[in-house]
Amino acid sequence: MWELIRANKRNSIILMVLMAGVLLLLGYIIGSIFDPAGGFFGLAIAPQHQLQSPQMIKTNHAGLWGIAFAATLWFILMLISFSSGDQILLATSRAKPVTHDNYPQLFNIVEEMKIAAALPAMPKVYVIPDPAPNAFATGRNPKSASVAVTAGLLGRLNRDELQGVIAHEISHILHRDILYVTLAGIMLGSIVLLSQVFLRSMFYSSMMGSRRRYSGGRGGSQAQFAMLVIAIIAAIIAPIMAYLLYFALSRRREYLADAGAARLTRYPEGLAGALEKIANDKSPQLATVTKVTAPMYIINPFKKKKQMKLSDLTSTHPPISERIKILRNMTHGASIKDYSDSFTSVTNTKTPVPPAALTKEAVALREASAEARKKERVEKQMRQVGDIMRRINEFVFLTCLCGIKLKVPPNYKGNKVRCPRCKRIHDLPKK
Amino acid sequence: MVPLIIVVVVLVVLIIFVVGIYNALVRLRNQVDNAWSQIDVQLKRRHDLIPNLVETAKGYMKHERGTFEAITEARSKAMGARNVSEASKAEGALGEALSKFMLVVENYPDLKANQNFLSVQEELTSTENKISFARQSYNDQVLFFNNKIQMFPSNIVANSFNFDKRDFFELEAPAEREVPKVSFT
């Protein structure tokens, strides 16, 4: 677990440096545009005879100004979100602070997870009066963190499932994800803002006419034009790159928080059940959410009509069915390594867990709490009775690879059937 | 002159290294102690909750005197425990008695509808969970600390400054391995 936190920090720093590079480069290129001497590529593109002039040999001041501007922008956004970032998020989601007196179970569960994760202080607990089931955590460090859940979530989940959700959020706090998501979000915000400002100013200045046409001769204006094209391309591509990096980070962190939740509760089924309930929920999407705050939530608060493969690159969360499958596939133990093994066997891709965190440790799974066990027993009996009835009525039974049992009625037309959970297509046996 | 400088540099680096390891060990030891105090707090809380629970349930469960006595006795034993091994035995027995009680409660629908009892039950469930999570986190910390003490190079520092290995805390449930007695009377 400690190795995971450390590896997380290292990866985040790499990402931050990459993003900072993109931001500063963008600032440099955009700044260079405003340099009458031809700027960034001036030395390379300008004709030979101009190279001799003292004007060209001097450093690219406008490019440096661009960098300074980008850095200032980043610094201001940083200052705002660091002084009151979590407060802004909590306020915009209309979260109300609660205590042990009005929400004893929620408060107890948060405290249980705080103990399990050995956090230095009790996180503040908030409830959002919204029927859509969702939850998020915020706060820069484990000492001053907050956990918020919606009223819809409290109404739908049992104790074990709520515990799974809270454990997921506490894992985000423990892994310092909020800090890095915030930092990366600010970086992303600065890049988007900078390129927007630039593209708009380009648009308007071209509308106003050729105000900035320089008397530097033919060579100079050619370089100018090339520079302009490069800057515009950069301003379009940089935000896209930054978005993709941001989303990649946020998806990876979701998997790691799931792994952490399984390890803290020793009961992956709790979180799996909760995710299933949240995914199948029919209530309207959360009222107070934006694209930037979306990665903070336990599942993507935006409802999609169809889950397409293409959207995988730009989504902030991994597909929920996959997260459930991975959690349900953890049958040997609840350690981070067990999660990683389950991940590779379910998705056939590289594990999101940093190699340093894959230490062997024996973490036994826990049984369901008495309340959930009893309910499960009753449901199982009901299902068995139902199955007997269906067998009498000549239903066809198929077992899907994802573990679900398909029951096909005898009057079903066609010879293929699709699994409702994993969407695999099965052939029906001939009668 | 040059060899002297090399010796001094090596010495300084070595001292910084040792200080670093020593501080890390102290921090880990404090974490272990803190995790232990977390367990302690929750065990005390469980002891405090029991009289409340018994008081609420007594009116409804007139024929379960044996169950109440078992809980009260286990509680007083657990409160009198003087060291870790005694405590783990007594607390294990208390946990066992409580879970038996919770099973018996299933037969009393009136009691299960009582708001007061429900809130005590939630507190007790949560406290049980907190004990097991605190134990889990304590054992994690102990494992990490013990590994650090035994592994090179920190074992040299640990040995010379008397950092001792810590014991894991396991709640022993004495009845777990016994065959349940069934009687038809």
Domain ranges across chain B:
26-173
Q: pLDDT at residue A321 above 80?
A: yes
Q: What is the pLDDT of residue B99?
A: 83
Which tens digit of pLDDT belongs to each residue from A322-334? Answer: 888 889 888 777 8
Of A178-187, A350-359, B122-131, B167-176, give the range with the top mean pLDDT.
Answer: B122-131
Of residues A112, A163, A370, nearest to B102 (C-beta) = A370
Q: Chain-wide mean pLDDT for chain A?
A: 76
Nearest chain A CA: its distance from B140 CA (Å)? 9
Q: What is the pLDDT of residue A221?
A: 66
Q: pLDDT at residue A199 above 60?
A: yes
Of A179-183, B48-52, B181-185, give the range with the top mean pLDDT.
Answer: B48-52
Given a contact cutoff of 8 angstroms between Cβ atoms, the answer to whether B54 and B116 are in contact is: no
Q: What is the pLDDT of residue A313?
A: 57
pLDDT grade for A287, boundaries at 50, 70 and 90: low
Nearest CA in chain B to A2: B144
Which tens digit of pLDDT belongs to each residue from A135-144? Answer: 888 877 788 8
Interface of chain B toward chain A, CB-CB under 8 angstroms: 31, 34-35, 38, 42, 102-103, 119, 122-123, 125-126, 129-130, 133-134, 136-137, 140-141, 143-144
Given the structure tokens 């889950």, which residue do they identify? Answer: A307
Of residues A104, A116, A117, nearest to B122 (C-beta) = A104
Q: pLDDT at residue A394 above 70?
A: yes
Q: Which residues contact B8 (CB under 8 A, 6 or more apart)?
A: none
Q: pLDDT at residue A239 above 70?
A: yes
CA–CA dist A300, A305 (Å, integer): 13
Q: pLDDT at residue A85 above 80?
A: no
pLDDT grade for A176, boundaries at 50, 70 and 90: confident
Of residues A111, A118, A264, nearest to B130 (C-beta) = A111
Residue to test with chain B: of A100, A111, A112, A377, most B Cβ within 10 A: A112
Which range has the worst mean pLDDT, A290-304, B7-21, B45-59, B92-106? A290-304
Q: Which residues contact A168 (CB under 8 A, 6 or more apart)?
A: A135, A257, A258, A260, A261, A271, A298
Contacts 24+ apart (CB under 8 A), B82-86: B84/B167, B84/B169
Of A134-143, A407-416, B56-65, B172-181, give the range with the top mean pLDDT.
Answer: A134-143
Which tens digit of pLDDT belongs to each residue from B136-153? Answer: 888 888 888 888 888 888
Which tens digit of pLDDT belongs to each residue from B78-120? Answer: 888 777 777 778 888 888 888 888 888 888 888 878 888 888 8
Cβ contact, residue pair A118, B129, below 8 Å: no
Superfamily of domain B26-173: LemA-like domain (1.20.1440.20)
Q: What is the pLDDT of residue A54?
A: 47
A361 part of the active site: no
A124-128 and A146-150 strand pairing: parallel
Q: pLDDT at residue A314 above 70?
A: no
CA–CA dist B96, B108 (Å, integer): 20
Cβ contact, residue pair B136, A266, below 8 Å: yes
pLDDT grade for A338, boundaries at 50, 70 and 90: confident
Given a contact cutoff of 8 angstroms between Cβ atoms, the answer to whether A299 and A320 are in contact is: yes
Q: pLDDT at residue A288 above 50?
A: yes
CA–CA dist B69, B49 (Å, integer): 15
Q: What is the pLDDT of residue B6?
A: 92
Q: pLDDT at residue A13 above 90?
A: no
- Two tokens at A408? 């096909």
Q: What is the pLDDT of residue A43?
A: 41
A 368-397 residues inside an 8 A Cβ radius of B: 369-370
Say yes or no: A104 contacts chain B, CB-CB below 8 A: yes
DSSP A340-387: HHHHHHHH-S--SS-GGG---------PPPHHHHHHHHHHHHHHHHHH
Q: How many CA atoms lie within 13 A of A232 on its CB side?
A: 12
Q: What is the pLDDT of residue A57?
A: 42
Q: What is the pLDDT of residue A203?
A: 74
Contacts of A5 in chain B (CB under 8 A): none
DSSP B136-176: HHHHHHHHHHHHHHHSTTHHHHHHHTTPPP--------GGG
Q: What is the pLDDT of residue A369?
A: 65
Nearest chain B CA: its distance from A127 CA (Å)? 19
Q: What is the pLDDT of residue A106?
A: 93
Average pLDDT over residues B61-74: 83
Q: Using a pLDDT cut of 90, give the percent of chain A over it.
A: 9
